[in-house]
Structures are given as C-alpha cells and as structure tokens.
Amino acid sequence: VALAAQDTSNDTVVENPGILPTNPFYFIKSWRRTAQRTITLNLIKKTELELDILNEKSSEISRLYDVLDGGSEAIRDAVRPYNESLDRFQSYANGIKDNSKNIQVDKLLNKALEIAIKNYTVFNSLENRSDLRIRESLERSQDKLAEVMANLFSRLDIQDNFQNRLEKLISNNESLVQLLTIGEFLNDLEVKTAPDSLLKDVLFQIKENISVEVIYNLIQIAQINILPTFQATGIKLKLL
C-alpha cells in the first residue's frame, strides 16, 4: 500500500480541474453542473454525468492539496461535496432498471470502475501525505466509494461481464503499484458486497490472481530466480 501511495502520476485524474472550491467564482462551476444535471433527462446519461463530476471533484481535491500544501480545512471542506456527489450518483443509479446486457449500462459500468480506481488512487496518494484529520476524512470517502460501487455492480452487473471487466482492468494495469492499489480497492469492494452476491466469488478469485501477479512483480524487482524440482511428494520451489 505504501508503494501505491507513491504513484502520483497525472493520469489518475482529469488534467485540469479548472476553478477550485477556494475560488470566489466557484459558484459559477456549481451552477454549470446543476444546469447540466437539469437538462440531462436520460437516466443513464445523468448517472454518467455525475461520474464525470465526481472525477472533477477528486481532481480538485488533489490540486487543492498541492496549492495549499496539505493540512488545510479547505481540503476537508472539498471532500464533503465529493461525498454528496457520491450520494447523488447512487440515487441516479438506483433508478436504472436494466443490467449490463444493455450496452449503455455496460459502458456505464466500465466507466464507473475506471473512475472509482482513479479516485481511490488519488485518495491513497494524499492520505500518506496528510495530517490525521484529513487522512480520516479521505478514508471515509474511500469507504463510501467502495460501498456505492459494490451496490452498483451488485444491482446492474452480471457475473460473466463483471469478471471480464475486472480481468481487463488488471491486464491494462500491470505495474506493481497499480496492482497493489487495485487489489486494495477490490478488497474493500468485496467487504461491501453482500454475502449472497455471485459477484463476491468473482472478487475473491480476481484478488487471488492479483496476488500472484504482485508476487511475480516482486520476484522480478528483486531479481530472484525460481528453480523447480519435481519430487514424488510434489513440486519443490527453490529461490535463488
């Protein structure tokens, strides 16, 4: 996890968040978002719009941290609207009746998973550079994010599509840092997923696959060679 916190690459958030919450003209940005929500009538599109707003707010929090050098109440104040957007996103998503067999819903779920990982990564990077109060605030947002996403995928996804979605996510993120962050997020997602959900088994299996990938990466980094020896009792692995 500590390694994951070191990854602060720009591809984790939108490049330019624009006006920040500390700007006196930030209300213009809020009005624009409200107007967009009002004129977007299609429920799936409205839910997707809220995902974009969520990602913008994550970027604003990250940028605020850089501008204010952390430790400011303004950062905690910016986290609250992020959580409000999460609630709004969940409210919209709860109104969707189709599942991921619908191509629009399938695209929405792909985007939701991508943005959830991005936001989770941003918060991870900030937590390890923040004071206790901000860290706790960010951790609560991560917990809420996992809960909302667990509810979303449990309601709208089907088992095969969910598994394919996660496998594609892993194949596109092969570095150790990325795998650690994804593994941490999926662990939170599994905790928040109902015990009787079929997706819980998929999450467990994908986490096991990530563990194997992480071990392989660690072996590569450490330049360790594995010498297998085939014996009557099984295969013996020797690290060199």
pLDDT confidence of residue 2: 39
Q: Count of H helices and E strands in the chain?
A: 9, 2
Kindly state the DSSP code that residue 102 receives in the 8-state scheme: S
| Overall pTM > 0.85 | no
Q: Are 24 and 195 in contact (CB under 8 A)?
A: no
Rg of the chain taking only CA atoms, in angstroms: 20
- Reported as a single tens digit per residue, the pLDDT across 42-63 is 999 999 999 999 999 999 999 9
pLDDT for res 66: 84
- pLDDT tens-digit profile of 68-101? 876 578 888 889 999 999 999 999 999 999 999 9
Strand partners, 200: none
Q: Tens digits of per-residue pLDDT, 146-157?
A: 999 999 999 999
Q: pLDDT tier at 223 (50, 70, 90 boundaries)? A: low
Tell me if residue 236 falls in helix, strand or coil. Answer: strand
Q: How confident is the model at residue 11 (pLDDT cuts 50, 70, 90)?
A: very low
Residue 134 pLDDT exceeds 50: yes
- Does the pLDDT of residue 203 top 60, yes or no? yes
**How many CB atoms sit inside 10 A of residue 144's CB?**
16
CB count in 10 Å sphere of residue 197: 18
